[in-house]
C-alpha cells in the first residue's frame, strides 16, 4: 500500500506568511533568502527537473520547505540541505508527514555529496533542484561540477542574467568563463522566466529557471582540464584585451609571448582575436596546443 502523502500547502502566499509569523522568522540578508510563492512556477520546476518516483533529489536551500513539499510528492526521496539554523524547526514542522525527506543543517559546499549519493541512493546519480541565493549561485554550481559528484541534472532558479550567461555562445556580451564552464559539463536550457512578484520578499531583479543536463562525457577533448580553465579565466579577465595579451599577462599561466602567439596561430586565429570570439572547442584545442608546447 502506498503511504499517504500530504498535499503541498506552501505555494500559497497566505500559508507562507502564516508559517513565518508563527516562528517570528526574520529574513537573513547574508543568506540571500527569497521564498517562492507561486504554485505555477513550482509545478514548472518539478516538470523541468523530470522528477519521478525512482529519483533521489538533492535540494539546496529549502527555505521553509515550499518546493520541498512538491519534490517530496514527486520523488522517491528528498535530501534538503539548509545552512540557516533558524529554518530547521520550521522545516521539521512544514515537512512533518512527508516521510521521504531528510533535512541536513549544513553549508552545501562542505557536504560530501558523493557519500550522500552512496548512502541515500546506492551510488546512483542525484538530481539537484534549488532556488539558489544569487550571491552563491556560481560557486555552488561549479563546485557540483568540478568535484565530479554523481549528478544527472541540476535544475535551479537563478538571477535572469546569470541564466543568460550560462546559456550564451561566443560574441555576446554575456559570454564568458561561466558560459564555457557550464557548457563543458552540461547542456543548459532555460525553462522559464520568473518575475520578482513570485517571491517573498521581492528581489530587485528578474529570475529564471535553468536546467543543466549533465554530459556523460564533455563535448570537447581537453587533455588538461585545469589548464583549459586557467586559459579561459585569463582570456576573460581583461575583456578588452586581445587573447594573446590576456594569456601573456596572466599570473596563472607561464607561457612566453612567443609560445602564446605561436599557439594562437596554430589554432588558425589572427593575432588580434579576443577571447570572446573563441568557442569551447577552440579553448580545448588551444589548451592542448599550449600543453604540448611545454612537454
Q: The cell 550522500 sits on which residue?
A: 116
Q: Is the separation of the CB atoms in 293 and 259 below 8 Å?
A: yes
Torsion of CA 207, 191, 83, 119, to 10 degrees: -170
- Beta strands 207-214 and 186-194 are antiparallel
Least confident of 10-14, 72-76, 145-149: 10-14
Over residues 204-225, the mean pLDDT reads 95
User: How far apart, in whole angstroms, are the C-alpha atoms of residue 156 and residue 134?
Assistant: 11
**Fold identical between 13-214 and 225-294?**
no
Over residues 208-235, the mean pLDDT reads 95
* Beta-carbon contacts of residue 157 (< 8 Å; ≥ 6 apart): 36, 45, 130, 131, 132, 194, 207, 208, 209
Considering the domain 225-294 in this protein, what is its CATH number? Answer: 1.10.8.100
pLDDT in tens, 55-103: 999 999 999 999 999 999 999 999 999 998 989 999 999 999 999 999 9
Three-state helix/strand/coil letters over 43-64? HHHHHHCCCCCCCEEEEECCCC
For domain 13-214, the CATH class is alpha beta
Q: What is the pLDDT of residue 1?
A: 34
Residue 238 pLDDT class (50, 70, 90 cuts)? confident
Taking residue 260's Cβ as centre, other Cβ atoms within 10 Å add up to 24
Q: Is the pLDDT of residue 266 over 80?
A: yes
Taking the domains of the chain in order of start, what are their residue ranges? Answer: 13-214, 225-294
Handedness of CA 60, 64, 67, 70 (dihedral sign): positive
Handedness of CA 243, 249, 251, 255 (dihedral sign): positive
DSSP letters, 206-248, are -EEEEEEEE-SS-SS--S-HHHHHHHHHHHHHTTTS-HHHHHH
Return the ∠ at Cα 204 (arms to 198 and 209), rounded to 5°. 50
pLDDT in tens, 126-142: 999 998 877 788 889 99
Amino acid at each position: 500500500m502506498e503511504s499517504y502523502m500530504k498535499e503541498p500547502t506552501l505555494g500559497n502566499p497566505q500559508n507562507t506568511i502564516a508559517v513565518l509569523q508563527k516562528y517570528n522568522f526574520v529574513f537573513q540578508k547574508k543568506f540571500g533568502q527569497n521564498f517562492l510563492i507561486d504554485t505555477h512556477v513550482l509545478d514548472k520546476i518539478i516538470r523541468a527537473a523530470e522528477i519521478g518516483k525512482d529519483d533521489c533529489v538533492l535540494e539546496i536551500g529549502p527555505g521553509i520547505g515550499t518546493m520541498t513539499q512538491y519534490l517530496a510528492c514527486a520523488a522517491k526521496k528528498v535530501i534538503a540541505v539548509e545552512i540557516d539554523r533558524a529554518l530547521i524547526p520550521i522545516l521539521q514542522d512544514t515537512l512533518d508527514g512527508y516521510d521521504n525527506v531528510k533535512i541536513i543543517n549544513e553549508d552545501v559546499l562542505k557536504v560530501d555529496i558523493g557519500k550522500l549519493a552512496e548512502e541515500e541512493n546506492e551510488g546512483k546519480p542525484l538530481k539537484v533542484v534549488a532556488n539558489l541565493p544569487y550571491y552563491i549561485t556560481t560557486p555552488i554550481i561549479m563546485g557540483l561540477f568540478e568535484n565530479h559528484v554523481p549528478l544527472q541534472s541540476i535544475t535551479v532558479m537563478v538571477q535572469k542574467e546569470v541564466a543568460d550567461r550560462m546559456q550564451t555562445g561566443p560574441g555576446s556580451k554575456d559570454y564568458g568563463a561561466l558560459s564555457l564552464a557550464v557548457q563543458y559539463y552540461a547542456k543548459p536550457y532555460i525553462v522559464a522566466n520568473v518575475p520578482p512578484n513570485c517571491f517573498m520578499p521581492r528581489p530587485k531583479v528578474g529570475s529564471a529557471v535553468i536546467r543543466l543536463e549533465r554530459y556523460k562525457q564533455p563535448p570537447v577533448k581537453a587533455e588538461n582540464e585545469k589548464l583549459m580553465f586557467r586559459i579561459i579565466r585569463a582570456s576573460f579577465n581583461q575583456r578588452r584585451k586581445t587573447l594573446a595579451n590576456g594569456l601573456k599577462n596572466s599570473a596563472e599561466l607561464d607561457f612566453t609571448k612567443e609560445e602564446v602567439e605561436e599557439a594562437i596561430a596554430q589554432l588558425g586565429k589572427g593575432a588580434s582575436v579576443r577571447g570572446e570570439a573563441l568557442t569551447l572547442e577552440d579553448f580545448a584545442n588551444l589548451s592542448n596546443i599550449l600543453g604540448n608546447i611545454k612537454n
